[in-house]
Amino acid sequence: MSRRIYQPELATKLAERGNISKRKSESFVRAFFDTIATGLSQDKLVKVKGFGTFKVVSVSPRESVNVNTGERITLEGHDKISFTPDPVLKELANKPFAQFQTMTLTDDVTEEELMKVAKRVEEELAQLDALMPNKDCPPAEEDRQETDIQNQAQPEGREDETVTEIESVPTATKDTSDEKPETVQKGESQETALTEADVPTTTPLAATSKTEGEELPMEKPEVTSADEAIPETGLQNEASTTIESETEDITYDDMPKKANPWKIAALILGAIALFLLGYEAGRRHIFEPTEQTAGVNDTAVATANDTTTKDTLRADTLQVQSKALPEEPATEAGTTTTPAAQTSQATALPTPQEENPAAVLPAHPKGNIDVKGLMGTHTLTKGESVASIARKYYGSTEYAPYIIRYNELKNPNVVHVGTKLKLPKLAVRN
C-alpha cells in the first residue's frame, strides 16, 4: 500500500532509470527542488515541462466565526503554494483508472431507484432459476421483459452507455445474469423445437391460434361474401403461418430475449394488414360494377323523376289499390291493365330500351310491381352488374332485386362475364 518515499530512494530510482551515477542523481534531485524553491521565491511561479506548475497564490482575508465563543473573527489573508500537475503527469498518475470515461446519465435515474432495481432484478433472477427446471419458459420470460422495460434505466447501465436501449439492459443487469441467458436459451430451444414440430402438421390450427383470433371474425364474412377471395385468403393464411413460424424460429435463435414481443406484434400487425389488403381488394373487385353505376345513378333518378311527375295521378291510385290488396300474388295480378307502352316495350325488348320502361315504371318501386313472364335476356359484359342492368332496362337500380329473384342468383355481388340474365317483364300492379 501507500508508503513514503524519501529523497534518497527517489535519487536511486532516477539513477537506475537515467543510467547515471547515484551521486549525480542525488545532486540532480537536490538541485531540482532547490531550483523550484528559489524560483518560487523569486517569481512566485515555476513551470516545469512535463511536471507541473508551482505557484504562490494569495488568499484574501475572510470573516469567520469562532466555533467556541460564537464571536466573529477575521482570518488574515496569506499566501499559499499551489501545485498544478502537468496533464502528462496527471495521466501517468491516473493510469489505473484510465479506462473509465465520464458518461451521461438518463434523467429518471436516482440513486435509490438504482438500488431498488438491482434488488428486484436479483429477486427475479432467483425466481427464474427456480422456475427453470419446470421449463416454464414463456411466462417467466414475459415477466422479465416487462420488468426490463420498466427498468430501462438500470443502475448497472452506468457501465453501458446506451441505458435506454432495451437490448443493452440484459447485458447490464447483474452478475448473475451471466447464468441466466444460458438457461433461458435452453428453454427456448426446446420451445422452438416444439413449434417447429407443430407447425407443419397442424397448419390451419396454428394459423388460427397464432393470429390471435383477430383475423378470424373478419375472415368469416369475407368467405361468405366473396367467393373469389377465398383462395386468396387461404393462401394468405398459409403464407402468414409459414412466415410466422419462420420468423419465430429466427427470433428465438438469434435474439432470444428482447425482440420477441416486438417481432410478434409486428408480425401480427403485418398479418392483419395483409388480410385487410386482401379483403379490400376482393371487395373492390366485387363491387366494381355497382360503384360504376352509382356514379351514373343520379341521372337515372333525374329522368325517372320526370316520368313520375307525369304518372303522379296513376301512381296515387295504384298505391291505394296496393294498400287495399297488400299480399296479392304475382300470378294473380291483372294482366288486362298493362299499359300500352309496356306491351310495346315487351315486343321490342331484346334490344335495350331506356325510355319506355322508365316512363312506365316508377323510379322507386313500392312493392306494387308484378312480374309478368319473361321480357328477354341479357348477356353480361365486362363492367356490368345486376344493378346496372336494372337501371338500363327498368330505369332504376332499385329494380335489381327483381332480376336477382327471377334468376335465382345466389350471390348477386359476383356475376361473371357471359352470364345470361333473364329479364322479367315488370308491370305496375293495378
Nearest-approach distance from CB 31 to other proteins, in angstroms? 5
Told to check if 60 binds other proteins by CB under 8 A, we report no
Nearest-approach distance from CB 257 to other proteins, in angstroms? 26
Interface with other proteins (CB under 8 A), residue from 21, 35, 176, 343? 35
Instruction: Find all residues with CB under 8 Å of 126, minimum gap 6, and list them.
Output: none
**DSSP tag of 133:** G
Nearer to other proteins, 38 or 299 (CB): 38
State the number of CA atoms in the 13 A half-sphere of 246 facing the CB: 6
Which residue reads 288486362 in cell numbers?
A: 336
Told to check if 18 binds other proteins by CB under 8 A, we report yes
What is the grid cell recorded at 250?
429466427
Nearest-approach distance from CB 59 to other proteins, in angstroms? 11
**Which of the stretches 78-86, 116-124, 194-202, 203-211 binds other proteins when contact is defined by CB under 8 A?**
78-86
User: Distance between CA 339 and CA 324 in Å, rounded?
Assistant: 21
Nearest-approach distance from CB 139 to other proteins, in angstroms? 35
Nearest-approach distance from CB 117 to other proteins, in angstroms? 16
Told to check if 80 binds other proteins by CB under 8 A, we report yes
What is the grid cell recorded at 337?
291493365
Told to check if 317 binds other proteins by CB under 8 A, we report no
Nearer to other proteins, 172 or 380 (CB): 172
State which amino acid sits at residue 284.
Answer: R
Which residue reads 334468376 in cell numbers?
A: 407
Is residue 131 within a helix (H) or strand (E), and if so which, with residue range?
helix 111-131
Told to check if 118 binds other proteins by CB under 8 A, we report no
Q: How many CB atoms lie within 10 A of CB 424?
A: 23
User: Distance between CA 304 and CA 307 in Å, rounded?
Assistant: 5
Told to check if 57 binds other proteins by CB under 8 A, we report no
**Which of the stretches 15-23, 219-227, 288-296, 407-415 binds other proteins when contact is defined by CB under 8 A?**
15-23
Contact (CB, 8 A) for 350 and 403:
no
Nearest-approach distance from CB 47 to other proteins, in angstroms? 5
Told to check if 160 binds other proteins by CB under 8 A, we report no
Nearest-approach distance from CB 5 to other proteins, in angstroms? 5
What is the grid cell recorded at 205?
390450427
Nearer to other proteins, 128 or 153 (CB): 153
Residue 129 CA from chain centroid, whole number: 32
> For the window 37-56, what string marks contact with other proteins as x by the rule CB under 8 A?
xxxxxxxxxxxxxxxx-x-x
> For the window 83-112, what string marks contact with other proteins as x by the rule CB under 8 A?
x-xx-xxx-xxxxxx--xxxxxx-x-----
Nearer to other proteins, 159 or 178 (CB): 159
Nearer to other proteins, 91 or 167 (CB): 91
Torsion angle in degrees (nearest 10) through CA of 271, 273, 277, 280? 110
Told to check if 406 binds other proteins by CB under 8 A, we report no
**DSSP tag of 369:** E
Instruction: Find all residues with CB under 8 Å of 80, minimum gap 6, and list them.
Output: 56, 57, 58, 59
**DSSP tag of 156:** G
User: Distance between CA 77 and CA 58 in Å, rounded?
Assistant: 7
Nearer to other proteins, 113 or 196 (CB): 113
* Contact residues for other proteins, defined by CB under 8 A: 1-7, 10, 13-14, 17-18, 20, 27-29, 31-52, 54, 56, 78-83, 85-86, 88-90, 92-97, 100-105, 107, 158
